[in-house]
Structure formats: structure tokens, C-alpha cells
Amino acid sequence: MITAQFNSDSGGRFARTMWCAVGLVLFSVLAIVPLVAQAQALSAADILREIDARGGITGLGNQVAFLSFTVQDKNGSLQESSFVSFGKTSADPQAPDSVLIYFLAPPPETCGTVFLTIDRKVSGQAAELYLYLPALDKTKQLVTSGERKGSFAGSNIQFDQVGRSELSSLFNAELVSETTLSVAVDGVAQERRVYVLHLVANLQTNANESFPERTMWVDAEQFLVLASESTNTVGKLQTIMRANGLVTSEGRLEYAVMTVSNVLDKSFTTVTITDREDVGELPDSLFDPALLPQFDARQFNDRLQVKVPDPICP
């Protein structure tokens, strides 16, 4: 039998050394854990900034997308509208986001209309909104609250909701909880982890907000708003938005189908994005309000797999 022998002095030094080593390891682990948790934790304000950085429903980059609206009014009547959008958007806070939407037919009465939104990303400054009306051959900037909050193409969506909305400066938010929400991704149902936020309009920067109180369910990975419930100025729940389908585009999830319903008058709008393509750099001149009367929606057909149809406006 082999017996290890230590004198008291060497044994004490060994024990002290071991405890110091263990203590250093434990201290390092305990010090790192709060830092990791802190790095992973997001505040409600952080989440709003991430949503803002994503851009609008057509996605980031230079995108051409085809959209359709199915609008059912409070009487149950259905109306179909078709559009092609041209977007130049960026996560760069110094680069403006611009989206131009050309109204295709049907319906014939709005065919050829062009809507333009330019967001210069100046805190507290709303996006610029322009509407070109071919029947009048006139471009109008939407300035007043009534104009900006008017119905876009007869839908449950306001003009000022089509452009980029800077939530982080317009609302104060609270992170209520985390949960999961089911949504179809590339045609397959998934349970997505979401942040649940409660938003209240910032009275200094957003005093005229139509929906001053909202609850939002935000994808925790992609920061897409998967659902929202909006309360009007008299405290009644009015609008519910739900993302029904997402698609993978350029390595990111983007909207494919969403519904926006008015629970007060039972009307709803289904927004479907059928095609989305990156066509390379779009010129800034495309988003010049002064050039809207000369806009040709077919000018990028040589780059597109799905072509913009020839005008069939009456």
C-alpha cells in the first residue's frame, strides 16, 4: 500500500492554493452569467428599434413586389385591388426609406394612381406622403391629419401606415411577457417565440395618433410584428392585424399574407404579396415626387421574372 505523506506546511499551502483556484473559477463563472444574461435581455425600447430597422411590409433593400388587397366592407361587398411596389429601404439610420406603389387594375377608377412615401428617419418627423392622381394629372402631398389618415385604396389601412412608422419615437412601450404564436412559414406551420409589448402613444411626438394604445406580438428572432390589437381614441378595440403567412426572402422572413380587420364595423382587408424580387440598385430619381407623372411601372421589366403588365387603364 502506498501512503501519500505531506508535512503540515506544504499541505496548508496546497489547500490554500486549491481553494484560491476554485474561488477564481467560481468568481469568473458568477461574473460572466449576469453579463451573458444582460447581453441577451432586450428592453421594450430595444425591440421597437429592431422593428423600425426592418423597414416596411415589402422588406429591406431594392425590392419590386406585387401586392393584392381583398377588401370586404361592412355590408359584405368585396373589392379587389392590385399593385406593384418599388422599395428602396435600408437598416442604415442615415439612409432614407422610400416606397412607391403603382395602382394596377382592377379597379379601373384608381388605375395608374401612384402613392409615394419617403421616410428620412428624422426622429419625430413623419414620413412624407404623396399621391399622383392621373385623372387630374396632379401630384398632391398629404399633409393634414385627415389626408394622412385616409383609407388607402378603400382598405382598413391608413395612408400613413403604409410608410415606415418609427415606433421607437412615437410610442412608449412595456415588455409584458414572452409566449409563442403559430404562423405559416414557407407554407409550414411553426410555433414562433414572440415578445408581447404594450404600447402607449408618446404625447410629445405623437399627439394625433389614431390608435394611441396597442398590444403587439413581435417575433423574437426576426422582429416582425406577427399580430397587433389597436385601441382607438375613445378606448375601444378597433383594429386587429394578423400575419397569416411568412416567406423566406434573401435569408429573412417577410410577410406573404396578412389580414387587417375592423372589429367595430366588421370590415376586413387581406393583403397578399405574391412576388418579391431584388432588382439591383433603384435610382433615387425614381422616388422624386416631381417625376411621378412620368413614372413608367414597366421600366424594370428587363430585370424582373414576373413582368409588370402593360397599362390597361381606361
Phi, psi (rounded to 5 degrees) for 84: -125, 135
Cα separation, 275 vs 277, in Å, equals 7
Per-residue pLDDT of the chain (314 residues; tens, 9 = 90+): 333 333 445 444 434 444 344 343 433 444 444 433 434 689 999 999 999 888 777 777 899 999 999 999 989 999 999 999 999 988 788 888 999 999 998 898 899 999 999 998 887 788 999 999 999 999 999 999 899 999 999 999 999 888 666 799 899 999 999 999 999 999 999 999 999 999 999 999 888 899 999 999 999 999 999 999 999 999 999 999 999 999 998 889 999 999 999 999 999 999 999 999 988 999 999 999 999 999 999 999 999 999 999 877 87
Considering the domain boundaries, does residue 169 fall inside one?
yes
Mark whether 75 and 128 lie in a shared domain.
yes
The answer to whether residues 118 and 22 belong to one domain is: no
- pLDDT, tens digit (0-9, with 9 covering 90-100), for 217-238: 999 999 999 999 999 999 999 9
Examine the domain organization and report whether 69 and 179 are in the same domain. yes
CATH number reported for the structural domain that contains residue 293 in this entry: 2.50.20.10
Residues 6+ apart with CB under 8 A from 104: 82, 83, 84, 111, 297, 308, 309
How does pLDDT run across 265-281, given as a tens digit for each residue? Answer: 999 999 999 999 988 99
Classify residue 204: in a domain, yes or no: yes
Note whether 122 and 28 are same-domain residues: no
- Residues near 96 by beta carbon (within 8 Å), at least 6 away in sequence: 118, 119, 120, 121
| Verdict on whether the full-model pTM lies above 0.75 | yes
- Does residue 51 share a domain with residue 25? no
Contacts of 156 (CB under 8 A, 6+ apart): 71, 239, 260, 261, 262, 267, 268, 269
Q: Could you give the number of structural domains in the chain?
A: 2
Domain containing 24: what range? 7-36
Residues 48, 78: one domain?
yes
In a domain, 311, yes or no: no
Clarify whether residues 171 and 228 are in a common domain.
yes
